[in-house]
Amino acid sequence: MKKTVSIIGVPMDLGQGRRGVDMGPYAIRYASVKERIERLGLTVKDQGNINVPTAETHGIDNEKLKYLPEVAQVSEDLASKVSDTMGQGHFPIILGGDHSISIGSIAGVAQHVKKLGVIWFDAHGDMNTEDTTPSGNIHGMPLATCIGLGNEKLVNIAGFAPKLRPENVVIVGARSIDPEERQLIKQHGITCFTMHEIDKIGIAKVMEEAIRIASEGTEGIHLSLDLDSIDPDMCPGVGTPVLGGVTYREGHLAMEMLYQSGKVVSCDLVEVNPILDEHNITARTAVDLVCSLLGESVM
């Protein structure tokens, strides 16, 4: 693990249908993310927030790609910031904001880690495109975008595509996938461990296999941690909660195994919505999990 962690906030809610997720970075900071990471002996540099326009000041030109120009610009800005951070040898932690921010975070990481694996912790597939989306919300499209599917303005963020090879992408914790998403996941050979597999073989076996797949022929792993992957009893403050998710303890074991692998080079924490939360428990859970990812343990 690199000795310096850089925190980058992205108060983005343009990719999500419910307001409030733009306050996620503030809630995670309020949950003492910097102080908790510093207790692990790591240096933490908070880089502040990427500028994100407000929805009220912009219209929607395309109902199948809501706020496309604005999301694309934020993605470009974030990719540049993450790339600079990686260039300094830091470990970037990007605080969302809705899951559309992963378009920019992965674009920034992939400029330095040319063969990048991804573990996508999420209740959803995020594999929609403008042709398949039922909502037009871009937070349901970032994984498709990163493997080269969808609108060229999103696919070509940072001037190159694709950012990921599907065979090195693993979805963990899925339990709500649209029919056409399911077809795209199968068609492109993305590994998807649903809650069925986690229930059947356990989180340890799932993570062993996820780490193996994301590591095979790659130079590092990016973790994209959507807090709706965790069951709503511990993470009620998300825009699209789905019952029957990963438990708090399963989440910790997964993060501990990722730390032990020594392969994670970056991560983003997304979809924390304080308006929908209870006593900031979702943000506090996010901080607990990221600390396990960075090496916190009982003994």
Which amino acids are annotated catalytic? 99, 122, 124, 126, 139, 226, 228, 271
Give the contacts of 249 (CB within 8 A, at least 6 positions apart).
none
Burial class (CB in 10 A: 0-12, 13-18, 19+), 45: middle
Instruction: List C-alpha distances in Å: 77 to 20, 52, 73, 169.
Output: 21, 10, 6, 24
Phi-psi sector, 271: left (phi>0), alpha (psi -120 to 50), beta: left
- Give kind and range of the element (H or E) at residue 221: strand 220-226
Q: What is the DSSP secondary-structure string of 157-217? A: GGG---S--GGGEEEEEE-B--HHHHHHHHHTT-EEEEHHHHHHH-HHHHHHHHHHHHHTT
Distance from C-alpha of 66 to C-alpha of 52, rounded to nearest angstrom: 15
Burial class (CB in 10 A: 0-12, 13-18, 19+), 63: exposed
Binding-site residue positions for Mn(2+):
99, 122, 124, 126, 226, 228
- Give kind and range of the element (H or E) at residue 8: strand 4-10
Q: Which amino acid is at 129?
A: T
Distance from C-alpha of 86 to C-alpha of 92, rounded to nearest angstrom: 7
Residue 71 backbone phi and psi in degrees, to 5: -65, -40
Q: What is the DSSP letter of 229?
A: G
Binding-site residue positions:
99, 122, 124, 126, 226, 228
